[in-house]
Structure 1
């Protein structure tokens, strides 16, 4: 470690694994849970596999449990990618791996866990490399529905399994197993015992307040801030970059909060992507599809919306939606906060308005006004778990047959996510007719001069953006608007009930 980095905290990283307290005081801050499990844990836990080492395949999936008074038994259990999870982010948590499934089953008098029994019975494993990851994701699903007294639909199983890749068995027998695992006698995790373990870690933990974090950031303005590390971990795993001793923003409870008021959503910078998107979709149901297509459940459980925004990627899917909704970003430096429109936060490719010692504190998203219609669509080569070629988000309010208010935000069309100013001008105050639509489509070429890359050509991006404008018109035109199922080749997920009892 460079001499410029401050010394590491003297208290070791502490978490529970296999029922025992683990204390780690000598690992590098970017040591991943995957490497620790396979190389450092005693006994070594090699059931968790390394596949892609970038969070795409799910072979390394584990469950992480945290204290949460609103969750069943006071414990929130989420599936995450061990290859992207740095050990310091596990402090105060419990980790469950595929090796934990048999002890759970034995405690209930069963020879194997219901998930394992179902995978065997349904021939859900072939080469077996991906199976431990599938088993852990399915265990998370099993726990969720056992606690709620529900059973998932096949579509819900498919959505929840989106972060796991199988190259030989195919998904039908795995989804079959997901249905059948509820037929065996119940064998849930002992949440009471798990909560007791987590309480022992919390009892003598030193909380990091927002004021503490702000002071640390001010003292270390050049230090990398890390939350879920779903992006930063790739710098380490794939580019072998030394990011030094990070500032762990995920430890600040105040920054993990989401508050819904009468007129806005206040999303803390360290709130998970899953929790943030779920709240957005509860307020604006038309965002459900783009929520479920944003990465995968393991990525959404670990990553944060604040991190996705601060990252500033021109193909990030959060920014177009939030900009279309008119969101503000709240920045903090020391004790001072300042607020600006999110669209003003991005200055140029991977450049933003943060000052030295400043950090993203929260996002403030106004609730759409009455009559505002919101749409967000993502275009990518794969339907699930893929990076956008274009992500478009629209907020439109009509006064009679005229466009009274419009915000059009695009990702993948420029060096930053930005609004289509010329296109908006072509719409504002005009009758929402096909002739107005055609004029707006033509204006897109004035707003954007996209690049060609591996995901899409410039011509394709302009064409598909114009097509998405037409789709907006088809669904919102004053006369004979079309339902979503008539404007897509896919079965819209908006028609699939989202189980309200699901927790992130």
Structure 2
């Protein structure tokens, strides 16, 4: 067992033994090191001012990814390289990204600039990137500029980020890989005592045994949600178990029958596999958080936290995903839809934890659609999330799975609508009305800051109609007739 964390900073190893369970990377940088180039903005991983880069060996390659240091726990840096804006200059010469921002006047008040610099640094080092404005905008979706300076920032990125990589980090890449390999070991980490600690086991059996002894501990994978418990809810979380060092828990295994996703596999790591399952699923994955969030946040964490407005569960339930759970005594699998019992309550024993899930592929006669509705297109929480899978024989729906998030206390299937849609013809939109009407009794949505109950219900019905229209190829004019018929029905009721 090891009672320190170890990581690289500016080419040198840093070893820390005094690491609090909820200490963030941002606090370490600003309060301990006095490296104040990294800024604190929103404190919730939304504005990007605190962005730093983390380098890790992924399948033997050195990959730099942006993270929000305000919600990333310090202990989670173990085995990685931390890069901040202070590290980029070489002999007082600006990094190519920094120089481009100067040349294109990409900084106004300057508060957000270090975060932009670090996100663009990771784009500069990224493999297999398409040189386009769209790529830059997608990469920068998690960085906000309140001085409305996006045009020159984008132009600076187009100028600098698609050239041959030539900086101090590329020059010493082989040395960095060697040092990261030296940091990798098979020892559990435990810093603290039995009442307050940061722990990072390396095996599932070790996690099961340790969690069985401390079922009141907080399990953390990417900290994109747990980080907010600390910075916004100000929770006291004295016992922290990080899952990021457990060997094999980040697996993404594709097979003819489906995709097996380990509990610590990030949204970034699973995006390609999800896109191959369904283009709609791939588009949804791109809209979950920002580059920073997807690089850290995990699919397993999005499920285990049980949010009724989590983006991935409705789509995964519609696809018929199966969840894997383990404890010190046993392991089991259950349909994902059965995991969510009530608001804030999941079917998980006191010492059980999520190890992964299996997502089956669509059969040849199945069609899938999913849609996320939110006030902002990028990195926003859903108002309504709808997902639909239909089994079709001779253009007749023989089975339907209709699932919504944001419409109830949990992600929930619409049983009445599913039953009403069986036997509906894709050639006859008039047979779809019963399924849309049944949503009125399947859900009782609430009104909150994101949407009213009325908006949610109307949107849910519209999304179901949209899915059916797209799958059947129904012209929009026929859908308008159906919508008018439904509106007349509602008024009469």
TM-score, normalised by the number of residues in structure 1: 0.88
Offset of residue 413 of structure 1 = 0.1
Once the 2 structures are TM-superposed, how far is the Cα of residue 458 of structure 1 from its aligned partner?
Answer: 0.3
1:94 to 63, 81, 90: 81
What is the aligned counterpart of 1:429 among 423, 435, 448? 423
Give the aligned partner of residue 6 of structure 2.
14
Name 1:53's counterpart in structure 2. Answer: 43
Question: What do the CA deviations read for 1:109-133 (whole angstroms, capped 9, x no partner)?
Answer: x932111111111111111100110
Please identify, of 327-336 and 342-351, the stretch whose mean Cα deviation from structure 2 is larger: 327-336
Q: 2:472 corresponds to which residue?
A: 477
Offset at 1:344? 0.5
- The alignment partner of 2:184 has SS state of helix
Contact 2:2 2:187 in 1 (8 A): no
8 Å Cα contact 2:107/2:149 also seen in 1: no
Deviation at 1:88, TM superposition (A): 1.0
User: Could you tell me which residue of structure 1 aligns to residue 124 of structure 2?
Assistant: 142
Q: What per-residue deviation string (whole Å, max 9, x for no partner) do you get for residues 393-430 of structure 1?
A: 11123212210222111000000001111111110122
Q: Residues of 2 paired with 1:221 and 1:410: CA distance?
A: 31
Q: CA deviation at 1:184?
A: 6.4
1:179 has 2:173 as partner: no
Task: Say if 1:426 and 1:436, in contact at 8 Å, map to a contact too.
Answer: no
Match of 1:34 among 21, 26, 29: 26
In 1: Cα distance, 2:41 partner to 2:20 partner: 22
Alignment of 1:41-440 (within 5 A): 41=33, 44-70=34-60, 74-103=61-90, 106=91, 111-145=93-127, 148=128, 151-182=130-161, 186-188=165-167, 189-190=169-170, 191-203=173-185, 205=187, 208-432=202-426, 433-440=428-435
Aligned partner of 1:498 in structure 2 is none
User: Which 4+ residue blocks in structure 1 deviate beyond 6 angstroms?
Assistant: none
**Is the Cα–Cα contact under 8 Å of residues 7 and 13 in structure 2 kept in the other structure?**
yes
Q: Given the superposition, is the C-alpha separation of residues 478 and 299 from structure 1 closer, same or farther in structure 2, using an over 3 Å criterion?
A: closer
For the 8 Å contact 1:315–1:389, the answer to whether it is kept is yes
Tell me the CA shift for residue 239 of structure 1. 2.1
Residues 257, 361 of structure 2: 8 Å contact kept: yes
- Deviation per CA, 1:228-262: give whole Å up to 9, x if none: 11111111112221111211112112211111112
Indicate the SS of the match to 1:377: strand
Q: Secondary structure at the match of 1:175?
A: helix
Task: Kindly state the Cα deviation for residue 203 of structure 1 after the two structures are TM-superposed.
Answer: 4.9
Q: CA deviation at 1:347?
A: 0.6
State the 1:286 CA deviation: 2.1
What whole-Å deviation, never above 9, does each CA across 1:165-189 have from its counterpart, x for those lacking one? 1111332211111100147674242
Note if 1:462 corresponds to 2:457: yes
Q: 1:366-400 CA deviation, whole Å, 9 max, x = no partner?
A: 01111322111111111111110000011123212
CA distance in 2, matches of 1:328, 1:46: 45
Which of residues 437, 440, 443 in structure 2 aligns to 1:442? 437
Aligned position for 2:16: 24
Secondary structure of 2:88's partner? helix
Q: Distance in 2 between matches of 1:171 and 1:477?
A: 40
Counterparts of 2:381 and 2:165 in 1: how far apart (Å)?
38
1:495 corresponding residue in structure 2: none
Offset at residue 353 of structure 1 (A) = 0.6
CA contact (8 A) 1:142 1:182 kept: yes
Moved more, 382-391 or 365-374: 365-374
TM-aligned CA deviation for residue 288 of structure 1: 2.2
- SS of 2:407's partner is coil
C-alpha RMSD of the superposition: 1.8
The CA distance in 1 between the partners of 2:74 and 2:290, in whole Å, is: 21
Structure 2: runs of 5 or more not aligned: 189-200, 478-493
CA contact (8 A) 1:218 1:333 kept: yes
Number of equivalences: 461
Q: In the aligned structure 2, how far is the partner of 1:182 from the partner of 1:455?
A: 36
1:474 Cα deviation from its structure 2 partner: 1.7
For 2:424 and 2:348, the matched residues in 1 are separated by 38
Which is further off, 280-289 or 368-377?
280-289
How far off is 1:69 after superposition? 2.7
SS at match of 2:334: strand
Q: Which deviates further from its counterpart, 76-85 or 435-444?
A: 435-444
| Aligned-partner SS, 1:396 | strand
CA distance in 1, matches of 2:385, 2:471: 19
Aligned-residue offset at 1:481: 9.0
Q: Aligned partners of 2:282, 2:405: CA distance in 1, in Å?
A: 18
Partner secondary structure for residue 244 of structure 2 = helix
